[in-house]
Amino acid sequence: MTANNRIVLSSDHTAIQLRQAIAAHIAAHGWVVVDIGPTTPESTHYPKHGAAARLVASGDCRFGIILCGTGQGIMMAANKVKGIRCGICADTFSARMIRQHNDANMLSIGVRVVGEGLALDIVDAFLTAQFEGGRHATRVEMIGALEE
């Protein structure tokens, strides 16, 4: 665990229940959860919640986990924030690889794509994987250079 053990969580209205399950799960593993909502089931726009990326980009949170129906839209919103490398994952292999090879600092999950058990396994794979550096660091630097 890094010195900054804070993780921001956010979702649109479709993923509140899964977000709360993930929050409880990671809190039980020693992470400090910064859950920025929403808390009510009224329809909300996922780009608003992709802004959780700002807390990661600022260094306030080490990682971010965001959710929407497919995970795609909220991931696209998060990746608009400079310094964010957010990947969508529906399997544990991809979750490990986005950390090991891409130094991803955010994870996106689609609540209509994976169930709770698999989502928790994906989160665990993401949080326990370590960036491998080396040739991957060069590629991560190249990704950063694309930001305007």
Which residues are marked as active site?
68, 101
Among the residues of 1-148, which ranges form H helices?
A: 16-28, 46-50, 53-57, 72-78, 92-100, 116-128, 135-145
Please choose, from the candidates 127, 95, 101, 106, the residue with its C-alpha nearest in 3D space to the C-alpha of residue 57.
106
* Amino acid (one-letter) located at 143: I
Q: How far apart are the first and last CA of the chain?
A: 31
Strand residues in 82-132 grouped as ranges (E): 86-88, 106-110
Q: Which two tokens stand for residue 100?
A: 């090991």
Please choose, from the candidates 123, 121, 84, 122, the residue with its C-alpha nearest in 3D space to the C-alpha of residue 106.
84
